[in-house]
Amino acid sequence: MNKKLINQIQINDLGEPYSSIVDEIGLENTIKLAKIFGGSRIYFPIIKSLVLDRRDKEIREKFNGYNQRELAKQYMLSEERIRQICKEKMKQIRNKPLKGQISMFD
């Protein structure tokens, strides 16, 4: 690609979707995106899904096996939803031997 021609691109040269992107991130960054993704179909999940993933990770980190009610109140969710989010961690906690418990398999 001819760098000289790329450097001559002006905002009014661009149609959609580029003009909307320029409004948000500027011409230089739009050109960078076009270089990287030009000709590709890409999908950006809605931001809400990223926020929910982060929230669920935080809930799993705070979960101790006994604090569903507390987490439900803190995150304004039902206790059932907390259990769904923490399902795998709950299995790990329940399968973990109690302190001082002897295993038959050791």
pTM of the complete model = 0.60
Residue 12: per-residue pLDDT: 75
pLDDT, tens digit only, all 106 positions of the chain: 677 777 778 777 777 888 888 889 988 898 888 889 888 888 888 899 889 999 999 999 999 999 999 999 999 999 999 999 999 998 888 777 777 777 666 6
Q: How many Å apart are CA 3 and CA 65, to the nearest integer? A: 58
Collect all residues with Cβ–Cβ distance below 8 Å to 82 and sequence separation of at least 6: 59, 63, 68, 71, 72, 75
Residue 31: per-residue pLDDT: 85
